[in-house]
Structure 1
């Protein structure tokens, strides 16, 4: 394997860049992996704007922290699921930054956007919980939702119970005592089970601050890869509905 894209087996934890462009929000942070609060962070308009603003935002935050790109211990990013364009933007930028930062490259840590939702919801709504179950969901468009389930414990951190997959909004899981978090409540409204509408966690987005907190566990688990490993997790290969499928969807909604 090319040494330019081969990370060290266990990178340091002190200087990390984290970014997410998987939704309509552009989120970037710099700080120590596993830290509760980053040194500097930014959240703003993403979507079509992300490709133009991501690199200047990264440069500005590194300057604010007083770091050079070559000094980074690693780069964590949300690799999906999420917006197809957003995921491709993140992967392309991370590959370029990691490979070009220094000889040998900077280690890359791909992390689930749904796990980032779960971590953001935990810290905001149940920071003192010793045990917690979180159902995390993100709008997949085309009348579908990306969803996964995670269990948290103080002793063992996060554990994936159900991996990222697609469901209809009406079929999202609802579990008493669990958190139901994501960005789907504002999209599908009353079509969702009531648990997704009654909890504040329902307005949670994946964010770079959550990715930074998750990064230490990812490093410990040996999940870092070289620049070439910055690849998207799509879950679904289809980008859009056909004209006939769009018409059928509108008809079914009207009938409902």
Structure 2
């Protein structure tokens, strides 16, 4: 008898783009739009709308998948706080996903890239970067530690692709590999990664879910505190 497909909610607010997706059996519903400062007010309504369209209650989910970072401080805290609030209320586990891994998966899925250096614009004249080798390491590409560095310090092995959102800001300062792919850490990419992450036992309880900061974290904003309260109320 075939195994039932997991019921999953995924979202990412680590960049200027907001991405939300719901998987219910073989049905996938997704939304990609403007994030940034708007994410703290639009994320929760979008989640509830997609869950409603999919005919799913929060308590029916097998896990809530969220982009844990690295990325925008505010965006990471927004995603983590909403994920924690929903998970506490619905009593479902959380599945944190590295945003650079999601970028690499998007490049693999969209362009067939098997060896990827994923890069995200870290602002302040820096980038976040990590390497993923799907050919050698399977569906998760390995566990490379994300780095924060200047564009000139990025090293790209011969034959590897460079993927991410840093080209407009740092294009000529980045190493010139044979191929470059514009890619973001989308919720659909995280859903494709979820089966392997679930099989690897990567879920955590809400109390143990934290953003992945590569820079030092800063204080939580008023908007983020409000997002936590709204998420907890929606889950009850």
Q: Shared fold (TM-score greater than 0.5)?
A: yes
Which consecutive unaligned segments of at least 5 residues does structure 1 have? 1-11, 240-256
TM-aligned CA deviation for residue 93 of structure 1: 0.2
**Number of aligned positions between the proteins:** 215
Q: CA deviation at 1:66?
A: 0.9
Quick one: which of 183, 207, 217 aligns to 2:196?
Answer: 217
Report matched runs for 1:222-241 at 5 Å.
222-237=201-216
Deviation at 1:175, TM superposition (A): 2.2
CA displacement 1:135-193 (0-9 Å, x = unmatched): 00101111111000011038832232631011111121222221110101011121222
The answer as to whether partners of 2:161 and 2:180 remain within 8 angstroms in 1 is: no
Matched, 1:119 2:108: no
Distance 1:76 1:192 in 2: 31
Q: What pairs up with 1:54-93 in 2 under 5 angstroms?
A: 54-93=43-82
Equivalent residue in structure 2 for 1:40, among 29, 42, 52: 29
What is the match of residue 135 of structure 1? 117
Deviations 1:188-227 (A, max 9, x none): 12122222xx6341x1111000000111111100110111
Q: Distance in 2 between matches of 1:154 and 1:169?
A: 26
For 1:16 and 1:238, the matched residues in 2 are separated by: 28
TM-score by length of 1: 0.79
**Residues 81, 112 of structure 1: 8 Å contact kept:** yes
Structure 2 unpaired stretches of 5+: 219-236
> What is the distance in 2 between the residues matched to 1:177 and 1:199?
8
Aligned-pair RMSD on alpha carbons?
Answer: 1.9
2:198 paired with 1:206: no
- The structure with the largest alpha-carbon Rg is 1
Aligned to 1:18: 10
